[in-house]
Chain A
């Protein structure tokens, strides 16, 4: 069983021969049959909101059924998403909930981890998230929805776009009282925010410690729909203002002339073609210019950057231009996503999700070596773990960007030069091609992993 699926007793995920399967427990059989027979499954799949699956011959005799869902080529986590990704995932969840109610079912959980980006769109991957709706029953996943989606979205909007990383710390969602204490007054004064966050956290505190007595279900269907629509309206209206980050105008400010940039694109393109990758990871992708180039020659491209605004810009570009094979993620290469959760196995680390066929590390190495004091040996040693081919740019010390990094500090990087760079990487990689970018102090290499 995959650790991430242990919470819900309706079923479990397991891997057989490298493929992912989901077994359905006997106690979920009634809900599953209703889900299929009511037409809800068909409708959600048709609308591209739910992952489709095939029922397969029993391989688990304990289970009611075993299904084989479409295999998601790369799993990403909400703490790696930018604002608009999380917003789209939230709206997808609410849309699914509304459709489910029409079919007499409802979402019994609303975890952000149940959403993945597949073919450019957020999609629900948990087929067993539905249960029969009983008139009067409140939405059991309301609190989870607020903690997994609404809380990080509001914090990203009103405080800092980097605060989605809090979901890494709070795997079950950001506590409402914490969000309430962090949000500014102007945010809390909005009626919907006041209700779903402030009042919600107060109600949680007040009633949480008191004994409850069950009587009867009372939330009318229209009330439930009103609640969903209210959340939908609130989230649709959240818009990140146009902010300029350190990296968002990088391509305008750096020392590439138009011609040098053209040359760089040409060199990288030829190298990608030679590597023939199925999957490409673009590390330090910025707004994704080279990811977009790689997406023409690669089945799947994962762009990673530590700047959430650069990732936001990349995501919106891919949405607008229908680059459905490109996923942009907020990842800090100097502190890559760790494995977290129970037994440190619930959510995978970045390295666990590799290796990839090709890594692009363009205009990156000087940041790792000079801003973060990571030696060239250590960089080569890490990169060899995650890729078969590597396209890497070396930027010499007299480049203006490197000079900028060194302007306020002592130059202690005696080993930072082309010769040492090549010898460090030659331990693990074979250098297949080396191209100088004319008009700059930069050089691009195509390397193949020796192991």
Chain B
């Protein structure tokens, strides 16, 4: 299957509900957003996860040195 067909299939599955906005968001823009949002959203998750781990480790180290 050509990559563009995969993209098309993905788009048919995920295309969002009609919005009542006055601006035409553009179908292509919607699909692209969903694709990059999927990737970047993952990165945001990883970033959040790392921040939590860092805070956790910092807490442990601070407690350790206090003792």
Contact = CB atoms under 8 A, between A and B. Distances in A.
A216 B17 contact: yes
A109 interface: yes
A137 B16 contact: yes
Contacts of A222: 41-42, 44-45, 48
Nearest to B27: A207
B36 A212 contact: no
Interface string A409-437: 00000000000000000000000000000
A204 interface: yes
A213 B13 CA distance: 9
Interface residues of B, number: 36
Given A144-B23, A216-B14, A223 B29 contact: no
B32 A218 contact: no
Contacts, number: 132
A140 B21 contact: yes
B32 A214 contact: no
Interface string A130-143: 01000011111111
A220 interface: yes
A216 B16 contact: yes
B45 to A, nearest CB: 6
Contact of A200 (B4, B19, B25, B28): B28
Interface string B10-26: 01111111110111011
Interface residues of A, number: 46
B33 interface: yes
B8 to A, nearest CB: 8
Contact of B21 (A108, A207, A214, A226): A108
Contact of B13 (A131, A202, A215): A215
Contacts of B40: 223, 226-227, 229-230
A9 B22 contact: yes
Nearest to B25: A140
Task: Kindly name the residue among A141, A200, A214, A219 whose own CB sees the greatest number of chain B CB atoms within 10 A.
Answer: A219
A109 B22 CA distance: 9
Contacts of B28: 143, 200, 202-208
A220 B33 contact: no
A137 B14 CA distance: 11
A195 interface: yes
Nearest to A215: B15
B14 A8 contact: no
A275 interface: no
Nearest to A137: B16
A212 B7 CA distance: 13
A16 interface: no
B27 A200 contact: no
B25 A138 contact: yes
A204 B34 CA distance: 14
A27 to B, nearest CB: 9
A141 B15 contact: no
Contact of B37 (A109, A138, A140): A138
Given A195-B36, A210-B27, A223-B44, 11 more contacts: A137-B19, A141-B25, A195-B32, A208-B26, A212-B11, A214-B15, A214-B17, A219-B38, A222-B48, A226-B43, A229-B44
27 contacts: A9-B22, A137-B16, A138-B29, A138-B33, A140-B19, A142-B25, A143-B25, A144-B23, A200-B32, A207-B28, A207-B31, A208-B26, A210-B27, A212-B11, A212-B27, A214-B18, A217-B16, A218-B16, A221-B41, A222-B41, A223-B33, A223-B37, A223-B38, A225-B41, A226-B36, A226-B42, A226-B44
